[in-house]
Structure 1
Amino acid sequence: MDLQAAPGSGKTSLVGLKLALLAKGWTSATQGVCVLSHTNTAKDEIKQRITAATAGRRFLGYPHFIGTIQSFTHTFLAAPAIRGQGGRIVVVDDAAYAAAAQRTLMKGWDYANLRSTLKHQQDGERLLSDAQFVCDGGELNVVSYRSLPFRSESKSGGEFAALKRRLAWAGIFRFQDMYAIAERHLIRAPHLARAISSRFPFVLLDEMQDTDTLQLRLLDKVFGSGGAQ
């Protein structure tokens, strides 16, 4: 069901009411409701609404989930994928990643060709800071906000990808990386979508119009054919 209404007309209130009503009749101890929002502010508002109802408070813990699409992706897909391969997560933040990338670029001779190439680009710093993973055919490729000024098989291209993967192994990621890692995890382990969909037979997405193409594709892979409502 798609509910559309003007700002301030009570959509979030209706979400809270719907969850409170669901809570009164929810009996499963292993299956829950998944409520996804785009911002922590919206997530906190929804939690505040259902906390006001005694029955609604049970939705604040397991087996239910109320959070942003980013935190959902991180919790159920990206983080398990990274740790399952022996990696770790130190920080997921674009600004922290940009600072780490610039520091790493300036160290030693490992990235000498890349330093020289980016130095002659007006947006060289941004090209490096915006480096992100994309899932292509089940593999993680490294791109930036625009086409790179070198081929992937060149020395600069190899160093660009190597720097990105070095930071990933150190546990430093951008927000968009989590979606790519999650998508690859779903491709390599297709049973996960069925498992998550079974865990959450009822899914509620707040502010659907703000969902971008990448987020929508990921959510469709998880819930699109698993029987969730």
Structure 2
Amino acid sequence: MNRDPPLVLDIDGTLTRPEGWGVDPRVFDPIREWDAPVVIATGKAFPYPIALCHSIGVPELVVAENGGVIYTGDSVQYTADRAAAQAVADAYRDAGYELGWGSDDTVNRWRETEVAVNRDQPEDPLREIAADYDLEVLDTGYAYHVVEPETSKGAGVATIAEYVGFDLEATVAVGDSINDVSTFETVGRSFAVSNADEAARAAADEVLEAGHAEGTLSVLERVRGD
């Protein structure tokens, strides 16, 4: 029997239900039973994918904050500094805008290398202010992320692959957004769920007929032991 290929999985739009942000529990058992490394690569703040790994019961191999935080299972690596992104957020507020998450702001509370802004807030002034600090704004379809240009999920995945020792060319990735493009370019085989944005669809080897977790489950069934 052939071994399962290493996996790289996004969260929002990829492991979630179509009607909301919640992770579809049907993905838990297939991921837990996978007999190759599974990397969770997301734009979410670092604690969220760690908690997901705990909930599923798999080793913590995580690329968080669009590549700003990498966890190899033994050590945390940071490829960006939140200070510049925070300066952009402060300047954005000073210009009369808000981040859009309310006073508690649990979206950014535990974020260590970037800042996320709600997509109902003005995008153009955010991009202009970010450029003043040599940063970029990444629109993932869920938030505007103020990021350093050098960070990417793909680079984080490559770091984990080298540390853990799995073959990137044999690796399968599933995603739905522009922030998954670098992952698709890093691995050997990539799938965009049907709800993916234009950038992800163009970069993927295949666009699936099904969306969200349903699409991801179809990939796991297809490539298992392939």
| TM-score tier (shorter) | 0.3 to 0.5
Which structure has the highest strand share of the two? 2
TM-score (normalised: structure 2)? 0.37
Structure in which a larger fraction of residues adopt helix: 1
Structure showing greater Rg: 1
Compute the TM-score of the two structures, normalised by the length of structure 1: 0.36
